Amino acid sequence: MADKKKDIANIVSDYKYGFQTEAKTIYQTPKGISEAIVRDISRIKSEPAWMTEIRVEAYKSFMTIANPNWGPDLSFIDFADIIYYLKASDHVGATWDDVPEAIKDTFAKLGIPETEQKYLAGLTSQFDSEAVYHNTLAELTDRGVIFLDTDSALREFPELFKTYFTKAVGYRDNKYAALNTAVWSGGSFIYVPKGVKVDKPLQSYFRINTEKMGQFERTLIIVEDGASLNYVEGCTAPIYSSDSLHAAVVEIFVKDNAYCRYSTVQNWSNNIVNLVTKRAVVGNYGHMEWIDGNIGSGLNMKYPSCILRGDYARGTTISIAFAGRGQHQDTGAKMIHIGRNTASTIISKSIATKGGKVNYRGLVSQASSALGARSKVQCDTILIDGESASDTLPVNIVKNFKGQIEHEATVSKVSEEQLFYLMSRGLSEAEATELIVMGFIEPFSRELPMEYAVELNQLIKLEMTGAIG
Amino acid sequence: MAILEIRNLVASIEGQRILNGVDLVVRGGETHAIMGPNGTGKSTLAAIVMGHPRYRIEAGDILLDGESILDLKVDQRSRKGLFLAMQNPIEVPGVTNFDFVKTAVSARLQADEHLRIGKFILRFEAAAKALNMGEGLSHRFLNQGFSGGEKKRNEILQMSLINPKIAFLDEIDSGLDVDALKLVGEYVTNMKSPELGLILITHYERLLDYLTADHVHIMIKGRIVKSGGAELIRKIDTEGYDWLKAELGIDELEEQKIQYSLGSCAAKTLSPGDKL
């Protein structure tokens, strides 16, 4: 256990400065986007024709859909200045030995090989646009679980893939979902068959390693009737001087009586614009949980959603957002109640310091069919200093007479009395503030796997450094 | 052996004077009790010595081991050996009691020292047991959901693990029932040593039944008006503070004046023609 903590401390101490590995690029598209480039990406990947057509249709949607007319201004994004596809390695390694040295080096800095054996049941690490390492424990394969990078899944299970792809997040949904569908590459694909319970967390790390390269991974998760899955996605990125766009799509299908938990701690470097569409469709008595941490990126817009379609379906989102200097976190959650007696809970914890801006933006909607639906929303914000800002922007809609929504929101400052108390025990102002913040996010961090919680605390500590005085 | 010297300390909050020239010397091994009616500045004195940022020092000095600490921040004073067991310990959600005390103890280690965690756990558990604090204390969040008595005992627990040189115990007796009072009194008595100077702030004498003080000071209107030995406690117990006010010629007029001036602000009503 102590070693594990050390590993994570090492990851974090390297991370602080960001690091970039010299990776040999095998293939990349020219800057900018066009139908030809979209077709090219599909061709290079030897995709079936239907996928090429979806990409092209999605590209057309992308060109016609405007940026959102709400929230942060996105007009600065120059789509012509982005590389949409880049391949760093030309094959997916079956074993660690097959992975190129420079890429291994990056992963070593992230501590992946060490943690894998001990903690993970399986692992997909994404390096630039293509998965370069993939390994699923035999035990899971024997039980019919599929855990692949998304490109391999399309090749190996085209029919399964086609059944679900774009069915939770259509390419007309929003501009960035359209963009992702047009140029997607990499991501994780997980299929858990009926009744199979994956007890250990499945985990994957993602990294962006090329300046000006958008990362458009696509994740597709299907948890069949009575099955359960606990999936952990990790994101880290080196620090660069110019903007990179990250627009991912995550689609999850939680069938009847199934359970899925999806945990992320997103820590992109501050030059990254992160625009992610995450949505789960939940069946009868199913339960979806989003554990969503947002520490990094300069501008982040992310509102994990649950469509509670089945009766008694449940949705839970527990999230934190941390905004430091120059950061704008616009995050929240959506719960769409359709089935009867559906229930949702949103717990959001926001922290702003050094002039950062953190908004909670959420939607709870109970349709006329959602008789007996219940929702609970709790948004707490802590402002570390006077220059930081926060807004809470909830929308609650109930279209039937039997629904119920509770909403609580608090905004507080670190109080003089709390600081006095902690400092009177010998903690410096910075240590005291850090402890108060750690306590504030505890309802989130306790939901994370142990080594992730440690990493999260380390990241927050790093972000807090210099926040005082 | 530590020595705390408070010299002619004058302090105010928001323009209101609270301390009017306090002199007090406490040495390691001594136990002082500061008594007096409510609102006479006893708790303020403790908070100011600890360095609470809300108070303004207008005159005088506070020295620890011969050096002024007025320019030191709260945490620096703590690491120099000052401690304040607070009247109303603050709740900190999400931070476990154990983690907090561990952080506090670690904060006073030298750069090359490391907390020996195994040993520390044993000390923590022994202290919790001795203070009858029950199972699960270490995993509970700092003071959150603690009863009044538990909060006070938790302050003493922290003190015993932090091991200060000079400690103020601010109304540590309030919220404690008789059994708990006895327990805490005896526990602190056991901590007494030539290395520890104690200042007990109380307006009841009952704590002093279990935790004897060798110096007793009476504070009225921001001043120590009388100092003596244990005999003062008995006299206050039987006669209250009125004899002292009479002896010292303190009347209620001054107090009334303050009340009036406060009242006149708060009660001011607008007349036609008043400018806003």
Least confident of A374-378, A440-444, B260-264: B260-264
Using the predicted structure, report yes or no on whether residue B262 has a pLDDT greater than 70.
no
A440/B contact by beta carbon, under 8 A: yes
Count of domains for chain B? 1
Tokens of A254: 């939680």
Residue A342 to residues A225, A259, A309: CA-CA distances in angstroms?
17, 15, 8
Q: Look at A11-25, A274-288, A293-307, A445-459 and tell me which has the smallest mean pLDDT.
A: A11-25
| Interface contact B162-A439, CB threshold 8 A | no
Q: How close does chain A come to B231, measured CA to CA in Å? A: 33
Q: What is the rounded average pLDDT of the residues A346-373?
A: 95
Cβ-Cβ contacts under 8 Å for B231 (sequence gap 6 or more)? none
Question: pLDDT-based confidence at A4, cuts 50/70/90?
Answer: very low
Average pLDDT value for residue range A277-295: 96
Tokens of A203: 């985990």
Nearest residue of A to residue B97, measured between CA atoms: A439
* pLDDT tier, A457 (very low <50, low <70, confident <90, very high otherwise): confident
Residues 397-436 of A with CB under 8 A from B: 415-429, 431-432, 435-436
How many Å apart are CA B242 and CA A91, to the nearest integer? 92
Provide the ipTM. 0.89
Residue-wise pLDDT for A396-442, tens only, equals 999 988 889 999 998 888 888 999 999 999 999 989 998 999 999 99
Residue A48: per-residue pLDDT: 97
Which chain A residues are Cβ-neighbours of B94 within 8 angstroms? 438-443
- Looking at the predicted structure, is the pLDDT value of residue A289 above 80? yes
- Read off the pLDDT of residues A139-176 as tens digits, 9 standing for 90 and up: 788 899 998 888 989 999 999 999 999 999 999 999 99
Is B78 within 8 Å of A424 when comparing Cβ atoms?
yes
Q: What is the pLDDT of residues A305-315, one digit of tens each?
A: 999 999 999 99
The alpha carbon dihedral of A421, A422, A426, A427 has a sign of negative
Interface mutation vs chain B, best among A421, A440, A442, most B CBs within 10 Å: A421
Specify the pairing of strand B31-35 against strand B215-220: parallel
Q: What is the pLDDT of residue A403?
A: 87
Q: How far apart are CA B195 and CA B187, in angstroms?
A: 16
Cβ contact, residue pair B84, A426, below 8 Å: no
Give the bridge partners for B92, in sequence order. B142
- Inspect the interface and report whether the beta carbons of A424 and B83 lie closer than 8 Å: yes
Least confident window among A8-22, A218-232, B10-24: A8-22
Beta-carbon contacts of A220 under 8 Å, excluding residues fewer than 6 positions away, are A150, A153, A161, A164, A165, A187, A188, A189, A190, A251, A252
Entry field: residues in chain A: 469
Asked whether the beta carbons of A420 and A385 are under 8 A apart, the reply is no
All residues of chain B having their beta carbon less than 8 Å from the beta carbon of residue A435 are 92, 95, 99-100, 103
pTM of the predicted structure, to 2 decimals:
0.80
Measure CB to CB from residue A424 to each of B74, B94, B101 and give the nearest one: B74
The pLDDT assigned to A134 comes to 53
Average pLDDT, rounded, for chain B: 87
What are B43-56's pLDDT values in tens digits? Answer: 999 999 999 999 99
Q: Which tens digits make up the pLDDT trace of B118-135?
A: 999 999 999 999 998 877
Q: What is the nearest CA distance from B243 to chain A, expressed in angstroms?
A: 37
Confidence of residue A7 (pLDDT cuts 50, 70, 90): very low
pLDDT at A24: 59
The CATH number of whichever domain residue B262 belongs to comes to 3.40.50.300
β-pairing verdict for A188-192 and A146-149: antiparallel
φ, ψ dihedrals at A119, nearest 5°: -110, -25
SS3 content of chain B, % helix, strand, coil (to 5): 40, 25, 35
Q: Cβ separation of B53 and A416 shorter than 8 Å?
A: yes
Q: Does A152 touch chain B (CB under 8 A)?
A: no
Q: Which residue of B has its CA nearest to A444?
A: B94
Mean pLDDT (whole number) for A232-251: 70
Question: A159 CB near a chain B CB, below 8 Å?
Answer: no
Which residues between 281 and 310 in chain A have a beta carbon less than 8 angstroms from any beta carbon of chain B?
none
CB contact under 8 A, A426 and B86: no
**B94, A421: Cβ pair inside 8 Å?**
no
* Averaged pLDDT, A48-67: 97
Express as a percent the part of chain A with pLDDT over 90. Answer: 56
**What are the backbone dihedrals phi and psi of residue A28, each rounded to the nearest 5 degrees, phi first?**
-145, 150
Instruction: Check B75 against A417: CB less than 8 A apart.
Output: no
Is pLDDT above 80 for A2?
A: no
Q: Which pLDDT score, from 0 to 100, does residue A117 have?
A: 42
d(CA A190, CA B209): 70
Look at B104 and A427 and tell me if their CB atoms are within 8 Å.
Answer: yes
Residues A125-148 as b or e (16 or more Cβ within 10 Å = b) = bbbbbbbbbbbbbeebeeeebbbb
Task: State yes or no: pLDDT of A120 exceeds 80.
Answer: no
- E strand spans, A324-403: 328-337, 343-352, 357-366, 374-383, 389-398
Query: Are the beta carbons of A443 and B94 separated by less than 8 Å?
Result: yes
Instruction: Give the distance from residue B53's alpha carbon to the nearest chain A alpha carbon, in angstroms.
Output: 8
Q: Which residues of B touch A438 (CB under 8 A)?
A: 94-95
Length of chain B: 276
Per-residue pLDDT of B71-107, as tens digits, reads 999 999 999 999 999 999 999 999 999 999 999 999 8
Whole domain around residue B207: which residue ranges? 3-274
Mean pLDDT of chain A: 83
Q: How far apart are CA A136 and CA B59, in angstroms?
A: 72
> Residue A238's closest CA among A394, A15, A7, A397?
A15
Q: What is the pLDDT of residue B267?
A: 35
* Spatial separation of the C-alpha atoms in residues A152 and A92, rounded to whole Å: 9
In chain B, the residue whose alpha carbon lies closest to the alpha carbon of A420 is: B52
The answer to whether residue A269 scores a pLDDT higher than 90 is no
A358 in Cβ contact with A371 (< 8 Å): no
Q: Which of A425, A438, A439 shows the shortest C-beta gap to B78?
A: A425
**A439: nearest CB among B47, B77, B94:** B94
- From residue A84, how far is each of A10, A28, A210, B92 by CA, in Å? 32, 8, 11, 47
d(CA B205, CA B209) in angstroms, rounded, equals 7
Closest CA to B172 of B194, B193, B150: B150
Pick A105 or A438 by higher pLDDT.
Answer: A438
pLDDT digits (tens, 9 = 90+) for B199-239: 999 877 788 888 999 999 999 989 999 999 988 888 888 88
Q: Which of B89, B92, B162 comes nearest A439 by C-beta? A: B92
Cα–Cα distance for residue pair A117/A160, rounded to 1 Å: 29
Interface test with A, best of B75, B88, B116, B139 (most A CBs within 10 A): B75
